[in-house]
Chain A
Amino acid sequence: MFALLLAVILLLMAVQIQVNFSKLLSSENTRDSIANFLVINRELTDANIGNSRLPDSLIADLQKQPFTEAIGTLEASRFKASIESNSSRFPFYTDISFESTPSDFIDVNTTDWHWEEGESLVPVIVPTQFLDIYNFQFSISQNLPQLTPAIVKMIVFKITIYGQGNKTEFNGRVVGFSDRISSMLVPRSFMQWANQKFATTALANPSRLIIKTKDPSDPRLINYLSKKGLKTDSEKTRFSKFRRIVDIAVLILGGSGLIMLIFAVLIVTLFIQLTVTSCKPEIILLLTLGCSPRELTNLLLKKFFSPGLLLVTIGTLATAVLQYISHYLLQKKQVLLDPFLSPYTLLVACTLILLIAAANRYSIIESMNYTKKILPKATNGYPNETKEESVTA
């Protein structure tokens, strides 16, 4: 019984760990979803310096790869631009460039992320790293105040765009911070309008792509990038190594659980058969007296199934407690796990209950048949009157 309980816990833990890891990689949560989107560019070498554009054939090939779920281009600004403070209390000025990408690839959900021609306010998304660099390096060295994301979002600054002999000014405001793309992002509609009106260079293929991948830990992705001379943030593909470790851990846990489960179910089955066989005279007498074989089978099923049901329930509860503890401990390390068991784990628990019920049913029915088979048939010679005879029921 203890072996069965341990087997149930190991199996459910294996499933839950796999689900936890998959969820961490594909979570909708901003902090965790960075790994699902990879910004890709050419690896610059002496040979290809100055030629970092990505050809259409490569983009089409990348699109066809099994690990690619969606692909988006990062369109760079082809005009000069600067931003400067509107406030004399907090003066700054810098030349700047922008990029844009389809909204689906941006990890900031805000209703402010739109721009139409004629609007004077341009929303901007900046990399989270920029704010970190400012708060933890620049502000300290320049004796400037540190800024929270909420304060930054309140600051309205001036954006000036130059090109083709024109100069236009807009108000800019930061509407969000991206963990995914390390560029100053503006809405695609603004970028297309501004490039058309102010571009000083011709339209060319993009230098950077952003791909959405089903599994950033897929080793085929890493191999493909390496083969094509492409690179991405290696931090994001480190999951490939983690994935192998987790896979091995899950394999060991699941494998041990499965082997234990097989032995435990075998032992339980033998125990049931032994118990039923040892009660052979009583079962025969009950059938002789008019007990319904179906009711007797159901009674035995209920009797033997209840401990199995209890064990799986305890095992599921124990796994749920472990999951909650993991959630609580890892929360402090910014790893967000679900506090509750996944539907897959519960599905496996239900499957285990069905498996145990099926094993019980099989062993009880087999035992009942066996009990009847081993009785003397009394077909040869006259049976002793005190000896049990075969029951045709």
Chain B
Amino acid sequence: MLALQSVFPNALRDRLSHHQSEIWNKEVFFSTNSYTSLVAPSGTGKTTLIHFLYGLRNDYVGTITFNDKNIAQYDAEALSTIRSCELAIVFQDLRLFPQLTIRENINLKIALCKQPVRANIDAMADRLAITHILDKPAHICSYGEQQRAAIIRALVQPFSYLLLDEPFSHLDQENTQKAIHLIHQICAENKAGLIIADLDHNHYFPYNQQYSL
């Protein structure tokens, strides 16, 4: 289970000290099998929170626990295991290797998994309509194509939580719908929880919890 206990980012202390938030300085639990929406305008810490949950940053007060242990206390090796087996993520800035092909980017993620993975990359790519760019270097693909590739890269690993940071920001409605269906299906297969951060209220998924940052 992922949980926040009175977490407040150091970097936003001045800016958000008078801001009413349903997340910062509150007790929040994210259980597996539940879908959570985090909505906030720019600059209120959506990406910061996603990075806190992923263990990328620890410049905050309060405690974030994962499986009942303070995530800041996991060592580097333990964090790498969590990132390859428990937490999947789609970064807002995607973070693909630009010089590698889309297929290589996805295969690299599979190679980093510490458990055997049976993912059908071609089928997923077909569902998201990016089959034609699978063998092209990431840097020559459009941002929308890269975003769909980043979604597939997140879905090929085993996970108990999927963290999404504005995952459909560069997708049209049709492609967004395709991505939503695929994510929904894979989350169900993994019996995983989903935490999505976005600028506006949305109905992408049947949310169990919705918070304003």
Contact = CB atoms under 8 A, between A and B. Distances in A.
A303 to B, nearest CB: 16
Contacts, number: 76
A294 B59 contact: no
- B interface, by DSSP: helix, strand, loop or mixed? helix
Contacts of B77: 292-294
A201 B82 CA distance: 99
Contacts of A294: 77
A379 B59 contact: yes
* Residue among A287, A288, A377 with the highest chain B CB neighbour number at 10 A: A288
A282 B97 CA distance: 7
Contact of B93 (A378, A380, A386, A392): A386
Nearest to A287: B80
A285 B97 CA distance: 8
B57 A392 contact: yes
Contacts of B59: 377-379
A343 interface: no
A152 interface: no
A211 B95 CA distance: 80
A392 B72 contact: yes
Contacts of A385: 47, 92-93
Interface stretch (B9-17, B176-184, B205-213): B9-17
Given A378-B11, A385-B93, A389-B51, A292 B80 contact: yes
A382 interface: yes
Contacts of A390: 56-57
Given A289-B109, A389-B51, A391-B56, A382 B79 contact: no
Contacts of B56: 288, 389-392
Interface residues of B, number: 34
A55 interface: no
A288 B95 contact: yes
Contacts of B92: 385-386
Contacts of A262: none
A293 B97 CA distance: 18
B37 interface: no
Interface in A312-342: none
Contacts of A393: 55, 76, 79-80
A387 B200 CA distance: 23
Nearest to A381: B11
Contacts of B85: 290
A370 to B, nearest CB: 16
A387 to B, nearest CB: 9
B138 to A, nearest CB: 12
A383 interface: yes
Best-surrounded residue of B10, B59, B80, B112 (most CB of chain A within 10 A): B80
A390 B93 CA distance: 15
Contacts of B108: 289
Given A288-B56, A292-B80, A293-B80, A382 B95 contact: no
A358 interface: no
Most chain-B CB neighbours within 10 Å: which of A287, A290, A378, A379?
A290
A191 B53 CA distance: 98
Interface string A252-290: 000000000000000000000000000000100111111
Contacts of B81: 290, 292
B48 interface: yes
Given A282-B97, A382-B12, A393-B76, A289 B58 contact: no
Contact of A290 (B11, B15, B58, B80): B80
B116 interface: no
B170 interface: no
Contacts of B79: 392-393
Nearest to B105: A289
A382 B55 contact: no
B43 A378 contact: no
B84 A285 contact: no
A392 B83 contact: no
Nearest to B84: A290
A267 B204 CA distance: 56
A380 B112 CA distance: 32
Nearest to A387: B93
A44 B92 CA distance: 101
Interface of B: 10-12, 15, 43, 45, 47-48, 51, 55-59, 72, 76-77, 79-85, 92-93, 95, 97, 108-109, 112-114, 157
15 contacts: A287-B76, A289-B84, A289-B109, A289-B112, A290-B82, A290-B85, A291-B84, A291-B112, A292-B114, A378-B57, A379-B11, A385-B47, A386-B93, A389-B56, A393-B55
Q: Which 8 A-B pairs have the closest CB atoms?
A: A290-B83, A290-B84, A393-B76, A292-B80, A379-B59, A293-B76, A385-B47, A382-B11
Given A379-B11, A393-B76, 8 more contacts: A285-B97, A287-B76, A289-B95, A290-B82, A382-B12, A389-B56, A392-B72, A393-B80
